[in-house]
Chains A and B, each alone.
Chain A
Amino acid sequence: MPDDLNWAIGGEAGDGIDSTGKIFAQALSRAGRHVFTSKDFASRIRGGYTAYKIRSSVDRVESVVDRLDILVALTERTIDENLDELHDDSVIIYDGERTEMENVEIPGDMVGLSVPLKRLAEEAGGAIMQNIVALGAACEVTNFPIANLDSALEKKFGDKGESIVENNKQAARKGQEYVAEEYDYEFRYDLDTTDDDYVLLNGDEAIGMGAIAAGCRFYAGYPITPATDVMEYLTGRIEQFGGEVVQAEDELSAINMALGAARAGARAMTATSGPGIDLMTETFGLVATSETPLVICDVMRSGPSTGMPTKQEQGDLNMTLYGGHGEIPRFVVAPTNISECFHKTVEAFNLAEKYQTPVFLLADLSLAVTEQTFEPETFDMDAVEIDRGKIVDEDEVESWTDERDRFQPHFSTADGISPRALPGTDGAAHMSTGLEHNALGRRTEDTEIRVEQVDKRNRKVETAEEQEDWDVREFGDSDSDNLVISWGSNEGAMREALDFLEEDGVDVRFLSVPYIFPRPDLSDEIEAADEVIVVECNETGQFANLLERDALTRLKRVNKYNGVRFKADELADEIKASLQTEEVQA
């Protein structure tokens, strides 16, 4: 169990909550501390409240917990919103000189530090820096070397000029000094530092970085929460590698642009979330039947319809697995943590080109909006391997032409994978179409060819099932009779839940599954266990339904669909409760 500090800043949307939180997370990372952040848009009273939370430790942190140690409250409501997580040793930093904060009551035995954030910021050069004053105060409370905050401020404001950086440093010092001079507490928080260098990034950024590493050169998308960060990350970066980001007029266009680029031979992708994936569904079948390699990323959020755009859910599994009319081969890969967002993106591009299929990269909001620290070696660019599959050059074209020298882009091979000639290859001009087609890519309704082509496309999946490693990630006690299975971002909370459970004497074997289709066959593991619980952020248990069908049995489920991700301590309690339940609910 990490010896952790849980810190948050909360206020109204527009108060600069996100950027302030990110600066503090950066400072902690610079100090060689691990960081795991989350964004809290909880709306118990009315819209507008927002918070950025940081869990930090010298050990790795993989989840959020229900405990808040230090809270920078820009509004009174911020305190109310977090009462559940605050405790007697919590410290609340607020600006008692603000009219609306004058009469703030600090609950219980908590320490309230009234710091004139606005006034001190103005002294340092401008009220806009009041959040930075609060960060300085937080440094004092946690005995945290302010040089790390300086370093984060340099990174954040460096391109705005030296005086801006200096003013911010000054603002931080004013906050620090104010607390030191005005309050004579022995704070119980002491943030150790280490010499380790970490990088700090979120899941969308990891996906974008993975795409560039994998050779993706074309991205088309339409902005949508929480996938926009993928597009924003790539913009300005992919160009440096000869690529381009196009903001399309809608998702219908975005996926078709990406499809066009992929037909031209580029590694191409698009990313979206629920409402956008609905529109893209129209083109899934064309991608699959024209056998075009394409990576389609869905960063899931709460649905249906507009749903809860800034809330967590894993509700699109069925959509990516079954979406679209007719039957098409496709792969669905779901990264289980932020570093895996990078690795699985690289893998998705290789799978797409090797098998000439659409590959769905199914991420979720919790991955997208969480910043987490990693050793830089986690993203080892030298280890990135590119497999472009069966691309043929002009010398090889001849071996794939028919008796009339026509190239056959959908030739029915033993492994189902056809030769692929990129446009511009001499002697290989060919078409493809969403109509059922023959080996030449031309329309046919011939019954035998229809069956041959359907079988050929599906054979690619069989080939992939045999040739690729569809691994699970295993944690916990491998001999335990209690088996927990999850997919996507639940891995982090569940890994920490294992620690809580162990403390309570409950042993659990945990399998985190990054592949939805094809997926590992867990029948033996399920059969070997006495209790099997499937954890996922949706109401109907979409993944549990698949596993039940695979193993022909009923499984227990822990589902959460209130829009908030699982927290480690909460999940441990849910697992315990589920283990104590006799029957599997129908």
Chain B
Amino acid sequence: MSSEVRFTDFKSDKQPTWCPGCGDFGTMNGMMKALAETGNDPDNTFVVAGIGCSGKIGTYMHSYALHGVHGRALPVGTGVKLANPDLEVMVAGGDGDGYSIGVGHFIHAVRRNVDMTYVVMDNRIYGLTKGQASPTSREDFETSTTPEGPKQPPVNPLALALSAGGSFIAQSFSTDAQRHTEIVQQAIEHDGFGFVNVFSPCVTFNDVDTYDYFRDSIVDLGDDEDHDPTDREAAKTKILDADKEYQGVLYQNEESVPYSDLHGLDSNMADIPDGAPEGAMDLVREFY
């Protein structure tokens, strides 16, 4: 069936309520295209969404989905994927969901290397609550709760992922449809935790990290013939360079072994017998 699947099959009949021009439109379109390109269909795809503008994505896409608690999307995705390895699991969130309330889960999800894709719509602002500083906001970014700016350095999510042993670390720009789709597609195809931080501008509350800003500053690694995504040291240098906004796969460990393979999980845990499993009486005998 996969050959017949078109990306619009992943579109629900619900019209998004994102602000006109929101970066999340482009982010979502790329996700849908990448899912279709990789041979998935809505009935074998599970999307987990957190809270925030990004969290609405489960409603606008057509697939199995759960829109959960703020910050816990990655644990939910982990449970889904380990329980049924046949499902394509895509976790979506924002910079608040993933790098603030959920940052603890982010680091451990990276370490765990479950074979799923994590797309973060990073707009460097809290949009749904109408414009407060996010963990990726600039130090001097003035908002209603930080009138003089946060006065703290922004979180560097790529660096967090690299230091936690990330096996696929990438960044894209939502409006660059072709590159964004390619990168998400590579994340899906990666054996392990495919992490993509997506510049997904907020046109309503962020007048600093705008489309124009990103268009002017993006450095696309796809244009850099010398870039070797398997070179972790080179990736480190780029990731720690605060002056550059890279697009592309910064790092990929080609030797990555996903959690399910390491732990020998290959069956759908939903399939259980009508009674106690065969051999269950041995569990009792153990207590003699």
Contact = CB atoms under 8 A, between A and B. Distances in A.
Nearest to A215: B272
B53 to A, nearest CB: 13
Interface residue tally on B, bucketed by range: 35 or more
Interface in B26-72: 42-48, 58-59, 62-69, 71-72
A106 interface: no
B276 interface: yes
Interface in A172-225: 197-201, 205, 209, 212-215, 217-218, 220
Contacts of B59: 431, 433, 442-443
B83 A217 contact: yes
A258 B67 CA distance: 15
A263 B79 contact: yes
B82 A442 contact: no
Given A197-B288, A253-B72, A267-B272, A424 B87 contact: yes
Contacts of B44: 423-424
Given A201-B287, A429-B42, A433-B66, A215 B273 contact: yes
Interface in A523-553: none
A56 interface: no
Interface string A432-464: 111100000011000000000000000000000
Interface stretch (A61-69, A242-250, A485-493): A242-250
A159 B273 CA distance: 32
Interface in A234-248: 237, 239-244, 246, 248
A435 B288 CA distance: 49
A424 B78 contact: no
B254 interface: no
Interface stretch (B125-133, B220-228, B263-271): B263-271
A147 interface: no
Contacts of B281: 381
Contacts of A220: 75, 79
Interface string A25-47: 00001100000000000000000
Contacts of B65: 429-432
Interface in B57-102: 58-59, 62-69, 71-72, 74-84, 86-87
A286 B263 CA distance: 29
A328 to B, nearest CB: 13
Contacts of A430: 64-65
Interface string A287-319: 000100000000000000000000000000000
B279 to A, nearest CB: 7
B72 A256 contact: yes
A252 interface: yes
Contact of A218 (B42, B74, B76, B79): B79
Q: How large is the interface on A (under 10, 10 to 19, 20 to 34, 35 or more residues)?
A: 35 or more
Interface string A400-428: 00001000000000000000001111111
Contacts of B276: 212-214, 381-382, 384
A283 interface: yes
Interface string A368-386: 0000000010010110111
B263 to A, nearest CB: 6
B284 A199 contact: yes
Contacts of B43: 423-429
Contacts of A246: 78, 82
A441 to B, nearest CB: 8
A174 to B, nearest CB: 27
Interface in A42-58: none
A268 interface: yes
A30 B288 CA distance: 7
B108 A242 contact: no
B275 A264 contact: no
A370 to B, nearest CB: 14
A262 interface: yes
B105 interface: yes
B64 A265 contact: no
Contacts of B74: 253
B268 A265 contact: yes
Contact of B67 (A30, A200, A241, A432): A432
Contact of A199 (B84, B268, B287): B287
Interface in B88-144: 104-105, 107-108
B108 A253 contact: yes
A373 B45 CA distance: 48
B78 A212 contact: no
Given A209-B284, A264-B46, A258 B277 contact: no
A511 interface: no
A386 B275 contact: yes
A218 B48 CA distance: 18
B56 to A, nearest CB: 8
Contacts of B72: 252-253, 256, 282-283
A198 B47 CA distance: 49
A253 B105 contact: yes
A260 B59 CA distance: 17
Interface in B243-288: 263-265, 267-270, 272-277, 279-281, 283-285, 287-288
B270 A265 contact: yes
Contacts of B274: 386
B279 A442 contact: no
A257 interface: yes
B83 A213 contact: no
Interface centre among A197, A198, A199 (most CB of B within 10 A): A199
Contacts of B14: 442
B216 interface: no
B241 interface: no
Nearest to B278: A241
B80 A264 contact: yes
A141 interface: no
B248 to A, nearest CB: 29
A430 B104 CA distance: 29
B272 A386 contact: yes
Nearest to A253: B75
Contacts of B46: 263-264, 423
B212 interface: no
Contacts of B58: 431, 433
B13 interface: yes
A253 to B, nearest CB: 4
Contact of B84 (A249, A381, A424): A424
A259 interface: yes
B277 A379 contact: no
Contacts of B67: 431-435
A261 interface: yes
Nearest to B107: A249
A246 B65 CA distance: 22
A323 B247 CA distance: 45
7 contacts: A214-B276, A218-B269, A260-B48, A268-B83, A376-B285, A376-B288, A382-B276
Given A218-B269, A246-B82, A256-B76, 5 more contacts: A265-B270, A423-B43, A423-B46, A427-B43, A432-B65
Interface of B: 13-14, 42-48, 58-59, 62-69, 71-72, 74-84, 86-87, 104-105, 107-108, 263-265, 267-270, 272-277, 279-281, 283-285, 287-288
